Homo-oligomer: A and B are copies of this chain.
């Protein structure tokens, strides 16, 4: 495959054979600005073709362009300037800084570095300005850096909170999640645990949801993020749904406003991806539905090609100022699409050297 004259930027996918890695490979197929140039996975897969190394679990077939890519080790020297990483935390701990120190932009989906002071935890519509933290990283000298996207449940929550916090101030939040099976990866949840059942626990998840949105909605002050000050209370559940995390959200605001004000703030929300016309940006990051029984994973998860968060059941409440239910596509907007949109933002901000590498 001669991609030397291809104007698209080559990217590597780290952890390409796993569930999120496959989503990345799928989303890169036909991408206007990026081309999948390298797939990296564990030593066990290295040397095999991507088709041989991968048990493809997404609907439909593996993109033809990926079939014959030879899997490299995640620690190998890569030629692509951008690494989209879907590595497990234990491997990411070592590999992501290694690749960043070699001058790569590592766009990470993993929890490892999300809460580090010098690592931006970014949802492009919400806190694109946090990318300035890249300048604080030691990898800057080599021209690389690490950017992270949030936990899959956090993306939906933080996106819905962002316009409300800006306009009215969020005072406190309680949220119960009903999370899809694909959030646990593959093989993930055993079918005997999942079928006709609800599991009220996901290891480490509540802590992430209680913490990450506060960094994302924090203000950048003198090269560091000052966390948002509202507390978040979370109760998580796994439900027998394939894709799409549902979240019942209860909310107090600092400024007392009408439901219409809340609705308007949600519906009119846009950010850098929409302004810059990024390829993976949905026209509307948030959609508010009026039907009394929406959103539903089976009907709404693909909104905006999986990049739109759907809000419904916006209504008053006897305890809180407002409550609503939201739905986020956990492996697209909540994982692979989030990383890809971050990479698109990096590119649009001119942070990535755009000449194709000599190969």
Contacts and interface: CB of A to CB of B under 8 A. Distances in A.
A272 to B, nearest CB: 27
Nearest to A291: B201
A190 interface: yes
B246 A233 contact: no
Given A293-B201, A319-B231, A325-B200, A242 B60 contact: no
Interface stretch (A38-46, A75-83, A179-187): A179-187
Contacts of A178: 178, 198, 237, 239
Interface stretch (A129-137, A147-155, A296-304, A339-347): A296-304
Given A199-B293, A240-B196, A297-B197, A231 B318 contact: yes
B237 A298 contact: no
Contacts of A299: 59-60, 197
A298 B187 contact: no
A318 B239 CA distance: 24
Contacts of A317: 233
Interface of A: 19, 57, 59-60, 172-174, 176, 178, 181-182, 186-201, 210, 231-233, 235, 237, 239-242, 246, 248, 250, 292-299, 301-303, 312-313, 317-320, 323, 325
A319 B172 contact: yes
B233 A319 contact: yes
A183 to B, nearest CB: 10
Contacts of A57: 192-193
Contacts of A248: 176, 200, 235, 237
24 contacts: A57-B192, A59-B299, A60-B302, A174-B250, A178-B237, A186-B192, A187-B187, A188-B190, A188-B191, A192-B242, A193-B296, A195-B195, A195-B196, A195-B298, A196-B242, A197-B297, A197-B299, A200-B246, A200-B248, A201-B313, A233-B323, A235-B323, A239-B240, A240-B241
Contact of A181 (B59, B192, B295): B192
A323 B237 CA distance: 14
Nearest to A179: B198
Contacts of A231: 318-319
A-B residue pairs, 3 tightest by C-beta: A187-B190, A176-B176, A233-B319
A313 B195 contact: no
Given A181-B192, A200-B246, A201-B293, 18 more contacts: A19-B192, A59-B301, A60-B303, A174-B319, A176-B235, A176-B248, A189-B192, A191-B195, A192-B242, A194-B195, A195-B240, A197-B298, A210-B318, A231-B319, A233-B250, A233-B320, A235-B323, A239-B240
Contact of A197 (B190, B233, B296): B296
A318 B175 CA distance: 12
